[in-house]
């Protein structure tokens, strides 16, 4: 972890317990969990953009919701400016940590002060995927963007409130802002609605934006405008962004670092250019191979992964990617790969990257030992 990190996530776990039927309870069948996030650590510095990439169901949205306090972590620590976020510590003190308590994650002994949820919401804001769902259809744009200021008591009087709403709308590209004050969300296009969502997030002048697939519901023609807007906000305001997406082609545009997720784990992390130009994990290579290349003469060999993503309730043994991995060897069925350093600030979790240390892994002999 960096000494200067604004946000630190350490061994984050989020399991969703599966409700048991009466028959399961009577037969004393063990309770199961959906292991949505299964031991994730990362940090984020001020003004940095981290893209978390992966297929649907890999746990990236659960991380976003946990960071903002919409979900309670099962275990692990989230530190925002060295203050604890989330309810885990309270649950632990009350003896309420669910699941296999003591078997997941690790808790450091150092005691950090706790950040209140209200202060977290001032400093970290979320942009949801669907601008149609995230705006109140009965409120005007003025009321929507002013609401966070009212809730947090951050504007002294009507004039200051109006001025801050105007600034936020104009920074989000809705100019002149007064033309939008009395309009309703249904009167705006999809791109304009997403700009309103961004304005209502930025009106509190947060330090962190968590953008969960912010362009996936928009027309292709508008996506670049919204990505440009986020990039401008980052440059002008120094806001840090956690950018959640399934589309690696968009992250190339403005992310500083990439974290690739598969079934609740980060399997490759590193500087964006380095990961895109020199991917090390077979899953990252497959994702990059299907990004369209605008030049027809530059053809890439596509890697099409076979089979479905395994059930997160019953994860495969060994490397959880092995049932779909095109280069798996026998050892992959039994050994869970650790993250190894493969370049400057570039890590990946694959047994084949340890091959120099254990040459019998690549030959497939490890499984028989």
> Which stretches of the chain bind ligand SF4, using CB under 6 A?
281-282, 319, 321-322, 325, 327-328, 332, 337, 350-352
Whether 329 and 339 have beta carbons less than 8 Å apart is answered as no
User: Of the two residues 214 and 318, which places its CB atom closer to ligand SF4 in the complex?
Assistant: 318
Q: CA 165, CA 276: separation in Å to the nearest integer?
A: 38
Answer positive or negative: Cα dihedral of 55, 57, 61, 63. negative
DSSP bridge partners of 49: 241
Phi and psi angles of residue 160, each rounded to the nearest 5 degrees, phi first: -65, -40
As measured in angstroms, the least distance from the Cβ of 364 to ligand SF4 is 11
**Where are the alpha helices (H) located in 240-347, listed in sequence order?**
248-254, 272-277, 282-289
Q: Which residues contact 90 (CB under 8 A, 6 or more apart)?
A: none
User: Of the two residues 135 and 352, which places its CB atom closer to ligand SF4 in the complex?
Assistant: 352
As measured in angstroms, the least distance from the Cβ of 352 to ligand SF4 is 5
Q: Which residues contact 223 (CB under 8 A, 6 or more apart)?
A: 215, 250
In terms of Cβ atoms closer than 10 Å to its own Cβ (0-12, 13-18, 19+), residue 331 is buried
Going by their DSSP bridges, the two strands 208-212 and 49-53 should be labelled as unpaired
As measured in angstroms, the least distance from the Cβ of 317 to ligand SF4 is 11
User: Of the two residues 96 and 327, which places its CB atom closer to ligand SF4 in the complex?
Assistant: 327
As measured in angstroms, the least distance from the Cβ of 60 to ligand SF4 is 19
**Where are the alpha helices (H) located in the chain, listed in sequence order?**
22-26, 60-67, 88-93, 117-123, 141-152, 157-171, 178-181, 190-202, 220-237, 248-254, 272-277, 282-289, 359-362
Q: Smallest Cα–Cα separation from 46: which of 209, 172, 204?
A: 209
DSSP line for 138-166: TS-HHHHHHHHHHHHT-SSHHHHHHHHHH
Whether 62 and 40 have beta carbons less than 8 Å apart is answered as no
User: Of the two residues 135 and 325, which places its CB atom closer to ligand SF4 in the complex?
Assistant: 325
As measured in angstroms, the least distance from the Cβ of 319 to ligand SF4 is 3
User: Of the two residues 238 and 364, which places its CB atom closer to ligand SF4 in the complex?
Assistant: 364
User: Of the two residues 116 and 317, which places its CB atom closer to ligand SF4 in the complex?
Assistant: 317
User: Of the two residues 197 and 328, which places its CB atom closer to ligand SF4 in the complex?
Assistant: 328
As measured in angstroms, the least distance from the Cβ of 16 to ligand SF4 is 25
As measured in angstroms, the least distance from the Cβ of 322 to ligand SF4 is 4
As measured in angstroms, the least distance from the Cβ of 362 to ligand SF4 is 9
As measured in angstroms, the least distance from the Cβ of 105 to ligand SF4 is 22
User: Of the two residues 238 and 359, which places its CB atom closer to ligand SF4 in the complex?
Assistant: 359
Phi and psi angles of residue 156, each rounded to the nearest 5 degrees, phi first: -90, 95
User: Of the two residues 281 and 347, which places its CB atom closer to ligand SF4 in the complex?
Assistant: 281
């Amino acid at each position: 972890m960096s000494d200067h990190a604004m946000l630190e996530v350490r061994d984050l776990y989020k399991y969703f317990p599966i409700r048991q039927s009466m028959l399961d309870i009577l037969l004393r069948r063990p309770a199961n969990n959906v292991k949505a996030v299964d031991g994730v650590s990362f940090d984020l510095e001020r003004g940095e953009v981290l893209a978390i990439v992966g297929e649907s169901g890999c746990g990236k949205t659960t991380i976003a919701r946990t960071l903002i306090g919409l979900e309670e972590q099962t275990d692990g620590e989230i530190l925002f400016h060295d203050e604890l976020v989330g309810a885990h510590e309270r649950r632990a003190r009350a003896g309420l940590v669910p699941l296999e308590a003591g078997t997941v994650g690790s808790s450091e002994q150092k005691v950090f002060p706790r950040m209140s949820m209200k202060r977290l919401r001032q400093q970290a804001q979320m942009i949801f995927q669907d601008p149609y769902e995230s705006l109140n259809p009965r409120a005007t744009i003025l009321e929507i963007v002013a609401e966070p200021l009212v809730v947090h008591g951050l504007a002294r009087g009507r004039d200051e409130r109006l001025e801050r709403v105007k600034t936020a709308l104009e920074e989000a590209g809705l100019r002149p802002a007064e033309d939008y004050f009395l309009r309703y969300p249904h009167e705006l296009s999809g791109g304009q609605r997403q700009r309103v969502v961004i304005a209502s997030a930025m009106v509190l002048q947060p330090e962190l934006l968590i953008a969960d697939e912010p362009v996936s519901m928009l027309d292709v023609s508008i996506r670049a405008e919204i990505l440009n807007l986020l990039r401008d906000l980052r440059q002008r305001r120094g806001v840090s962004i956690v950018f959640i997406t399934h589309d690696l082609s968009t992250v190339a545009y403005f992310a500083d670092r990439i974290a690739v997720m598969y079934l609740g784990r980060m399997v490759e992390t590193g500087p964006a250019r380095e990961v895109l130009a020199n991917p090390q994990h077979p899953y990252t290579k497959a994702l990059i191979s299907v990004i369209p290349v605008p030049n027809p003469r530059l053809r890439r060999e596509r890697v099409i992964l076979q089979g479905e993503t395994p059930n997160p309730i019953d994860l495969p043994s060994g490397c959880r990617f092995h049932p779909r991995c095109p280069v798996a060897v026998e050892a992959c069925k039994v050994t869970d790969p650790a993250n190894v350093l493969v370049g400057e600030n570039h890590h990946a979790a694959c047994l084949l990257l340890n091959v120099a240390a254990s040459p019998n892994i690549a030959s497939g002999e490890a499984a028989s030992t």
